Amino acid sequence: MTIKLMNELEISEKKVLIRTDLNVPIENGIIKSDARILAAIPTIKLAIEKNAKVIVMSHLGRPVEGYYSEKYSLLPVFEYLKKKLNKTKIYFSRNYFDNISINPGEVLILENVRFNKGESENSDELSKKYSSLCDVFVMDAFGSAHRMQSSTYGIGKFVKIACAGLLLMSEINALKKALKKPKRPMISIIGGSKVSTKFNVLNELSKISDTMIVGGGIANTFLAINHKIGKSLHQPEFISTAKKLLDTYNIVIPIDSRVGKHFNNTSESINKLPSDILEDEEIMDFGDETIKKTVNIIKKAKTIIWNGPVGVFEFPNFRKGTEFIAKAIANNNGFSIAGGGETLSVIDMFNIKEHISYISTGGGAFLKFIEGKKLPAIQMLENNFKKQF
């Protein structure tokens, strides 16, 4: 992988456009998790220290493209960054294609790129507009590195210099450490609702993991191989696929579960064996014996890859499995890497951020990298590097 790195470039007084991932959960104007913002700040600060004219862009949520929506505005993020960068002049712009005037050492935050028509389609016209804003483009949004869009990929075709930021490189290096030569035993914990969206990841991780633990709807699909699981979330069309994986690799599935009759935060939690689940019940968490078994596996691990909760952790009655597993990972002295939006929420909920070796800001990109696929943003940086010679 041959790409330019921002920290190696002379960018003083140059307009530097940084594509960050500031896609954070916001409710009623309040940021619920600042993990991605905090991860983006070091690259922004480095550009400030290098006396660049710093321009920052990101997406937020999934608004209707081409239309402004207050719900998806980056204004709350701008207000947050103003406090974090309190010694720096920082501005916000909605109509940034008209004219940008900024001095060295100052920061301009651009409004949500997904308000721009053509962003998701990787429009050349929009990509050219982005490129006209800067002298140097910095790709630092690992969480969007798997998307071939104008602000993450298309701009690289038209800007003279495209390079990688600090976060992007730290993400790639951490994932390589976990995947290329992991210390053994290596375990992976994959939760979430659908086998279909994570089948390739399950397949690839199963090959290199000594043990794989599955939770959530994914685990339910494995349980459905041999059990009737009531109205539990699962994918019947993937049961045969799950069986092949289970027969081939060392995959740990629940031996008991917490079930409820209603999908809400007041539903009673009952611990049951899979064979005892009734038609009107649904699995929403690991049971006590499964928790004991998985925590013991985690204690012995030297490398841990974690993506997704193992139950409906938003409901207090179905949080125990995710909580015990999260805290077991935090107490492990080996190398742990966690990724995915819900995983970040779990880490915040149980206040274990300082005890995870590396927290990836990516969800889809995290999974694609694990699958062994080249991320479009990395390909873009490599292509841009080749253009220089």
From the annotation, which residues make up the binding site for substrate? 21-23, 36, 59-62, 114, 147
Q: State the maximum Cα–Cα separation within the chain, in Å, rounded to a whole number.
A: 68
Per the structure block, which two tokens stand in for 153?
């990929």
Known catalytic residue at 287: no
Residue pair 153/376 in contact (Cβ under 8 Å)? The answer is: yes
Beta bridge partners of 264: none
**What 3-state class would DSSP assign to 189?**
strand
The end-to-end CA distance of the chain, in Å, is 15
Known catalytic residue at 194: yes
Peptide bond into 185 cis (omega under 30): yes
Q: Give binding residues as ranges.
A: 21-23, 36, 59-62, 114, 147, 198, 314, 340-343
Q: Give binding residues for ATP as ranges.
A: 198, 314, 340-343
CA distance 281 to 261: 5
> Residue 241: left if φ>0, alpha if ψ -120 to 50, beta else—which one?
alpha
Name the nearest CA neighbour of 170 among 150, 145, 152. 145
CA distance 38 to 36: 5
Which one of the listed residues 311, 341, 362, 363 is annotated catalytic?
341
Which one of the listed residues 14, 19, 36, 319 is annotated catalytic?
36
Which one of the listed residues 4, 84, 157, 194 is annotated catalytic?
194
Residue pair 5/45 in contact (Cβ under 8 Å)? The answer is: no
Q: Give binding residues for (2R)-3-phosphoglycerate as ranges.
A: 36, 114, 147
Known catalytic residue at 14: no
Q: Is 8 exposed, middle or buried (0-12, 13-18, 19+ CB in 10 A)?
A: exposed
Torsion of CA 162, 168, 170, 171, to 10 degrees: -150
H helical segments located in 100-163: 124-131
> Residue 273: left if φ>0, alpha if ψ -120 to 50, beta else—which one?
beta
Helix (H) or strand (E) segment spanning residue 241: helix 239-248
Name the nearest CA neighbour of 259 among 215, 219, 229, 300. 229
Place of tokens 């483009």: 137
Known catalytic residue at 84: no
CB hemisphere CA count around 216 (13 angstroms): 20
- The residues assigned a catalytic role are 36, 194, 341, 364
